Structure 1
Amino acid sequence: MLKIKLPHQIEQMKAAGAVSKAALRRAGDLAKPGISTIEIDQAVESLIRSRGGVPTFKGYGGFPASICSSVNEQIVHGIPSPATTLKDGDIVSIDTGATFGGWVGDNAWTFYVGNVSDDVKGLCECARDCLEAAIKEAIPGNRLGDVGAAVQELAEANGYGVVRDYVGHGVGRVMHEDPEVPNYGKRGRGVRLQIGMVIAIEPMITMGTYETKVLNNGWTVVTADGKPAAHYENTVAITKEGPVVLTQDELGPWCPMQGGEKAEP
């Protein structure tokens, strides 16, 4: 069932979004060669709690950590570990969620670790642009097919795969609400976007096949062909003025990116 938020509730959600964005920026600052993903997780949890929030992911469905940290061919739901140390040339997709004031903020970014190949940078830049294109479609009267088509059209035009098995979602008092928000589809199809809807738009783009598999830990999703993947996400409100990104702080909605990447789309 769709849960429509009132204007004052959307304003309240901005506070949760700001905590989650700050957590994501902290993760990005730490994503350098030699650090373990568990160290990033611990730093993010500390930041969220210091700001009066709770890490939304920790314990969610049994997930053991405060962030998802997905390296290279891992698409989503990577589990932080002291055994996973980032290396020069890696990419790492960090997903952070914070619950604050009874609302959830959910966002993700793929960060460069040291010197990343041009091919992989191209994948990340396209995935980031897919997120921007999808957000522009999040206006009253459009449909979810318009949002998904924006991602699919741009990604496939550049030769990349679009993951089908995992999608975006509604966000509110809990992390996952209706509706599902696919990153593929046909324009003019699907649920009509209404003022007061809040959705997480999260393109998951791959260098090769869009097919996936889950590792034995029951969580981590990887590309079936072992090629790299990128994941970007913001929580977005549908308003009469247009899309409003709720996961932003004083620096804005877009994470500053490493390795010469643009901070703004």
Structure 2
Amino acid sequence: MSITKEEELIGMKKASEAVACTLREMSDHAKPGMTTKELDEFGAKILAGFGAKSAPYLTYGFPGYTCISVNNEFCHGIPSDKTILKEGDLVNIDVSAELDGYWSDNGNSFVLGKDIHQHQQLVDASRQILHKAIHNIKGGVRISDIGYLIETEAKKYGYKVIKNLTGHGVGRSLHEEPGEIANYRDKYNQARFRKNSVVAIETFISTTSSYADTLKDGWTMVGNKGGFMAQHEHTIVVTDGVPMILTEMNGINNYTN
């Protein structure tokens, strides 16, 4: 969507506060021994407290309130009472929701407890790349140039990007124009970021895979060549200068579990 009046910005800020607070509290609440379903139900209560509704459930009938992916699961993991979190797990939580007709989206990957499996470097790279990408976005910048920046930075860290997972427009629905905001230079995408538009910027930084495949459950995605992936995501408003980060209170730029 494009912000055209103050009430739209207020609506987006409220929806973004709901998802950002939910993501932050879920990240803080996650502990070894907890099931991902328990963590999801904890998040559901926070969303409900804001009067917000789960976007993946509303839009796609997703079997959970939030997406929780663990270790080799890249994204869209289904919360389950069979998945028990363990020390050192690489955890990704993606929270998106609708509130009073406005939609917002954010995500966080983190290491649960001690970094016994050496995932922290991947997590830190993803966070730092997202920060750099966002601070290079303004009205008139080519979307493909931000994709090029993300992939170039990933390579500097020794990582790859997932090419079939992208950021997207957001606001009046979960996925809107400008459509796909890829993590690499898509030479066929000549679109530019527009001032006052609302977009969800995501990193998909991987150790070995370049594409994600969907498992038989129809939701969970894993790497085509295995490995691990970190994802971080903010919903932002594009300006003439530094974007307005609507989900900044999720704390992913300075968060340590």
Give TM-score, length-normalised by structure 2: 0.93
Q: 1:50 deviation in Å?
A: 1.0
Is 2:152 the partner of 1:173? no
Paired position in structure 1 for 2:256: 258
Paired position in structure 2 for 1:85: 84
The alignment partner of 2:10 has SS state of: helix
Structure 1 stretches of 5 or more lacking a match?
260-265
- Distance in 2 between residues matched to 1:96 and 1:150, nearest whole Å: 25
Instruction: Give the residue type in structure 2 aligned to 1:17.
Output: S
Paired position in structure 2 for 1:197: 197
Checking the alignment, whether the CA contact within 8 Å between 1:7 and 1:196 is kept in structure 2 is no
- Mapping 1:60-139, distance limit 5 Å: 60-117=59-116, 119-139=118-138
Instruction: Give the residue type in structure 2 aligned to 1:89.
Output: G
The alignment partner of 1:44 has SS state of: helix
Residue correspondences, number = 255
The alignment partner of 2:238 has SS state of: strand
Q: Give the stretch that moved more between structures: 162-171 or 144-153.
A: 144-153
The alignment partner of 1:79 has SS state of: coil
- Distance in 2 between residues matched to 1:20 and 1:150, nearest whole Å: 27
Q: 1:228 deviation in Å?
A: 1.2
Q: 1:253 deviation in Å?
A: 5.1
- Distance in 2 between residues matched to 1:22 and 1:151, nearest whole Å: 26
- Distance in 2 between residues matched to 1:63 and 1:71, nearest whole Å: 17
Paired position in structure 1 for 2:4: 6
Greater than 2 Å deviation, 4+ residue runs: 252-259
Checking the alignment, whether the CA contact within 8 Å between 1:199 and 1:235 is kept in structure 2 is yes
Instruction: Give the residue type in structure 2 aligned to 1:216.
Output: K
Paired position in structure 2 for 1:263: none
Checking the alignment, whether the CA contact within 8 Å between 1:16 and 1:247 is kept in structure 2 is no
Percent sequence identity over aligned pairs: 33
Checking the alignment, whether the CA contact within 8 Å between 1:31 and 1:111 is kept in structure 2 is no
Is 2:240 the partner of 1:240? yes
User: What is the root-mean-square deviation in Å for CA atoms of aligned residues?
Assistant: 1.9
Paired position in structure 1 for 2:148: 149
Structure 2 stretches of 5 or more lacking a match?
none
Paired position in structure 1 for 2:224: 224
- Distance in 1 between residues matched to 2:126 and 2:190, nearest whole Å: 22
Give TM-score, length-normalised by structure 1: 0.90
Which string of whole-angstrom CA distances, capped at 9 and with x for unpartnered residues, describes residues 48-74 of structure 1? 111121121224212111100011111
Checking the alignment, whether the CA contact within 8 Å between 1:68 and 1:80 is kept in structure 2 is yes
Paired position in structure 1 for 2:208: 208
Paired position in structure 2 for 1:262: none
- Distance in 2 between residues matched to 1:256 and 1:7, nearest whole Å: 31
Q: 1:7 deviation in Å?
A: 4.3
Q: 1:183 deviation in Å?
A: 0.9
Q: 1:208 deviation in Å?
A: 1.0
